[in-house]
């Protein structure tokens, strides 16, 4: 069988010294085809950034292996373009220079004029020509993220790794950038791994959605293939039965993975034999005799169920 484009084989990773060692990732397996858009959805702190750093080669797994086109990944390199969760722009360089730094490194054979043109092309692609000479501190979060995306795409990576690129943004900017990412990945037939904490975003953008269970010992769940035709319209999507079903299944899987964790730490709790006072009910006049209500005396219980 032909090996997949990106192959992750039983990768595990733990942090900390021997004594207080916590296993973050356990037995991660993943294979991604060329041109595929895969989204990984997981809880905050589950180990998403850790997984991404391993794919990028910034971290070495304790066990297992990552292979890109059959070659084991041992160190970071520009063929795996990483869009960092916190943008990681260099604050002393302006927009153009931040992108240019990457271009200069990746295309040393090109002439200076070609590299400038190449940089301009990508700055324009993310609609930042107007902010060309601005420093990152003068940009909004969304603009910074776009610079970060431009810097990464300008390297012509074989695979684009996005670590929660949109999580820190407001809903409107987020929707805008989602559309831009969809457009960019479609026009470049780019292989993408997108990490997100938003199932809707994952389904909107990806060909395949994979949940990451809650940590510690997080691992990948089953793949959910998204066959919704592109370009996808976010408003129409909300009524798409496939969207609704995948969304429900992914969320259910994530919730179950968390319940499983919670169950393992449940302890027997002893509650006091007293009910909290319900201030919404009629209160007797001041001075009237009142006494605390015992839990065992409560006869009627109201349960609210969200529709």
Partner 1 sequence: MKDSKFKKLDWLILPILGVGAVLILWQVVSASVSKELPNPGKTWAASKAYVVEPFAKRGEMDQGILRFTWYSLVLVAKGYALALLIGTPLGFCLGLSKTFAKTFDPIIQILRPVSPLAWLPLGLVLFLGAGKQASELGALFTIAVCAMWPTVLNTAVGVRAVPQDYLNVARVLKLSRTKTLFKVLIPATLPYMFTGFRLSLGIAWLVIVAAEMLTGRPGVGGFLWQEYNALVYEHIILCIITIGIVGFVLDRLMSVIERRFKTA
Ligand X SMILES: Nc1ncnc2c1ncn2[C@@H]1O[C@H](COP(=O)(O)OP(=O)(O)OP(=O)(O)O)[C@@H](O)[C@H]1O
Residues lying near partner 1 in the complex (CB under 8 A) are found at 56, 58, 75-78, 80-82, 84, 86, 88, 90-93, 101-102, 105-106, 135, 137, 155
Stretch that binds ligand X, among 48-56, 65-73, 173-181, 219-227 (CB under 6 A): 48-56
Q: Work out how close the CB of 306 gets to partner 1 at its nearest, in angstroms, rounded to a whole number.
A: 40
DSSP letter string over 104-135?
A: HHH-TTS-HHHHHHHHHHHHHHTT-GGGTT--
Binds ligand X by CB under 6 A, chosen from 28, 39, 46, 162 = 46
Q: What is the dihedral of CA 143, 145, 150, 153, to 10 degrees?
A: -160
Number of other CB atoms surrounding residue 241 within 10 Å: 7
Cis peptide bond prior to 216, omega within 30° of 0: yes
For the window 199-228, what string marks contact with ligand X as x by the rule CB under 6 A? ----------------x-------------
Site for ligand X contains 24 (CB under 6 A)? yes
The Cα–Cα gap between 220 and 162 comes to 17
Distance of alpha carbon 101 from alpha carbon 103, whole angstroms: 6
**Shortest reach from residue 112's CB to Mg ion, in Å:** 37
Q: Which contiguous run of DSSP H or E holds residue 56?
A: helix 48-56
- Which pairs from 14-20 meet CB under 8 Å and 24+ separation? 14/62, 15/50
User: In the set 45, 70, 141, 222, which binds ligand X (CB under 6 A)?
Assistant: 45
Work out how close the CB of 83 gets to partner 1 at its nearest, in angstroms, rounded to a whole number: 10
CA 199 to chain centre: 9
Rg of the chain (C-alpha set) = 25
Place of tokens 């890109």: 68
> Least distance from C-beta 49 to Mg ion, angstroms?
3
User: Residue 46 binds what, of ligand X, partner 1, Mg ion, none (CB under 5 to 8 Å, by partner type)?
Assistant: ligand X
Binding to Mg ion, residues 28-57 (CB under 5 A): 48-49
Q: Which two tokens stand for residue 167?
A: 């999580």
CB 98 within 8 A of CB 36: no
Q: Which of 75, 299 has the CB closer to partner 1?
A: 75
The stretch among 80-88, 120-128, 220-228, 249-257 that binds Mg ion (CB under 5 A) is 80-88
> Which uninterrupted H or E stretch holds 176?
helix 171-188
Site mask for ligand X (CB under 6 A), range 233-272, x = bound: ----------------------------------------
Q: Of the two residues 66 and 125, which places its CB atom closer to ligand X in the complex?
A: 66
Q: What is the binding site for ligand X (CB under 6 A)?
A: 15-16, 24, 42, 44-50, 85, 164, 197, 215
């Amino acid at each position: 069988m032909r090996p997949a484009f990106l192959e992750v084989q039983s990768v595990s990773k733990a942090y900390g010294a021997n004594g207080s060692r916590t296993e973050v990732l356990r037995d991660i397996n993943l294979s991604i085809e060329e041109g595929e858009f895969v989204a990984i959805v997981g809880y905050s702190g589950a180990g998403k950034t850790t997984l991404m750093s391993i794919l990028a080669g910034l971290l070495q797994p304790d066990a297992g292996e990552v292979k890109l086109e059959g070659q084991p990944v041992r160190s970071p390199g520009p063929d795996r373009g990483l869009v960092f969760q916190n943008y990681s722009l260099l604050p002393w360089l302006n927009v153009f220079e931040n992108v240019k730094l990457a271009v200069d490194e990746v295309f040393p054979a090109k002439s200076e004029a070609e590299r400038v043109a190449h940089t301009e092309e990508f700055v324009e692609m993310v609609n930042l020509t107007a902010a060309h000479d601005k420093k990152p501190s003068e940009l909004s979060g969304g603009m910074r993220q776009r610079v970060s995306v431009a810097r990464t795409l300008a390297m012509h990576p074989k695979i684009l790794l996005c670590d929660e690129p949109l999580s820190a943004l407001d809903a409107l900017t987020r929707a805008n950038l989602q559309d831009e990412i969809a457009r960019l990945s479609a026009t470049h037939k780019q292989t993408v791994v997108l990490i997100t904490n938003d199932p809707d975003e994952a389904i909107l953008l990806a060909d395949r959605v994979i949940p990451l269970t809650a940590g510690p010992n997080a691992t990948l769940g089953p793949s959910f293939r998204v066959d919704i035709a592109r370009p996808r319209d976010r408003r129409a999507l909300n009524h798409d039965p496939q969207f609704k079903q995948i969304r429900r299944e992914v969320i259910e899987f994530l919730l179950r993975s968390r319940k499983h964790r919670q169950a393992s730490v449940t302890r027997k709790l002893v509650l006091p034999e007293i009910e909290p006072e319900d201030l919404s009910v009629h209160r007797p006049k001041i001075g009237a005799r009142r006494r605390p209500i015992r839990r065992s005396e409560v006869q009627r219980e109201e349960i609210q169920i969200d529709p």
